[in-house]
Structure 1
Amino acid sequence: MQIINFSEQNSLISIYIREIRDITIQNDRLRFRRNIERIGEIMAYEISKQLAYKTISVNTPLDVADANIPDEEIVIATILRAGLPFHHGMLNYFDGAENAFVSAYRKYKETGHQSFDIHIEYIASPSIEGKTLILTDPMLATGSSMELTYRALLTKGNPSKIHIATIIASQQAIDYCKMHFPEDKTTIWAAAIDPGLNESSYIVPGIGDAGDLAYGAKV
């Protein structure tokens, strides 16, 4: 399984990561969402380099030119709600992709935020049989939501390739995904990998709650 950590190289992603982490800049929701979207766009471009391509002919006003275009059917799958701007950034570049949406949430137990289960309650997806599946979630904390989302999507077919795209991941989540996803066809793309989780399973240093920062606090 290939793990691509963009924080190990210099790129424009580092600018947007700094801004979404900055507690003063986070107060601007529009800017926060746009930075998430920008990271999605850059990551889509990088993922596109690993796709299979085919050559087609294009008629120009003067002659015929060859053009290389992706030769894979792509489905972008996103965990609601925090993943929406990230998804939109991906879709800006993979504009011909099909789309899937999954509602996954933490259901906390009576003992408090230290103990919870992940619940899937909604899924809307095309067939993913034989297609390239891009699973997007801006925060990969424990990895369990991503795994359950993948298991739910398997009811729609078996993908030929899997790309897990995230902005901030914990090392624990990376290790978890390495154990629970097919090693021979999965690539993990992370803008940054942080060392750990706190007692509530939030990534540290992380950014906080991406959904709340993008769309406002929930009751």
Structure 2
Amino acid sequence: MRLHVVDHPLVAHKLTVLRDVGTDSPTFRRLTDELVTLLAYEATRGVRVEAHDIVTPVAPTTGVHLSAPKPLVVPILRAGLGMLDGMTRLVPTAEVGFLGMIRDEETLKASTYANRLPESLTGRQVFLLDPMLATGGTLAAAMHFVFDRGADDVTAICLLAAPEGIAAVEAEFGAEAPVTIVTAALDERLNEHGYIVPGLGDAGDRLYGVV
């Protein structure tokens, strides 16, 4: 498993505004979108490409384009949906699936309530979008879901991560697993309610309001 904490002043700046309790939902949504695009740039460094011959206005040359099958982007509902536009802006030809997961607030265990994914993900690179890697239960369950369908490489893009969540995912899959976690910051810890500290609160509520 690989962890990449993106160290960039624009990432740090946008994350600081996201953390601020005074940031309203429209601003939070816009900054999430911008921040995800920056994170996606780092997360796609290992995206698979193949040689592609073209002709420029001057001469023939060989470049690259994305290999088949196309990458699959999967936001984990509901909060992950707020990250989708930022990701697909960078990789517009990627296919998109959806995975609905919910965490029991008492047991902190995750369960799947909906999915819109191909039955076979054999040979696919999958990019999971989930704002908060807290206990790691939801993300680990989502990873198992796509690996069970044949995915052979999974990258999770998270706005924030807690050490406990990172440790839980690594314990679940092992250090050599084809798993990458890309995040804007590794925070201090989880509190007694399973929230990341200092964190930014409930990402879903801050994106869409309390429902």
| 2:183 is the alignment partner of 1:190 | yes
Give aligned pairs, total: 208
1:143 positional shift: 0.5
122, 140, 150: which one aligns with 2:143 = 150
Residue 209 (structure 1) aligned with residue 182 (structure 2) = no
Secondary structure, aligned partner of 1:51: coil
Q: Scaled by the length of structure 1, what TM-score is found?
A: 0.87
- Picking from 28, 34, 39, the partner of 1:32 is 28
Deviations 1:145-188 (A, max 9, x none): 11112223345x22121112111111100001111135331111
Offset from partner CA, 1:69-119 (integer Å, 9 cap, x none)? 23353111111111112122111111111112111112345xxxxx44322
Cα distance in structure 2, aligned partners of 1:12 and 1:57: 35
Partner of 1:5: 5
Name whichever structure is richer in strand by fraction.
Answer: 1
TM-score using structure 2 length: 0.91
CA contact (8 A) 2:160 2:187 kept: yes
The residue number in structure 1 matching 2:109 is 117
Partners of 1:49 and 1:11 in 2: CA distance: 19
Task: Give 1:62 deviation, angstroms.
Answer: 4.3
Which residue is 2:66 aligned to? 70
**Aligned AA for 2:155?**
H
1:131 to partner: Cα distance:
0.7
Give the CA RMSD over aligned residues: 1.8
Greater shift in the superposed pair: 172-181 or 53-62: 53-62
Gaps of 5+ in 1: 110-114
Higher mean C-alpha deviation, range 55-64 or range 132-141: 55-64
- 1:130 and 1:68 mapped to 2: Cα distance? 19
Match of 1:112 in 2: none
The equivalent residue for 1:92 is 89
Structure 1 residue corresponding to 2:130, chosen from 101, 121, 137: 137
Alpha-carbon spacing, 1:130–1:210, altered in 2? closer, same or farther (3 Å) = same
Q: Give the Cα separation in 2 of the matches to 1:116 and 1:141.
A: 10
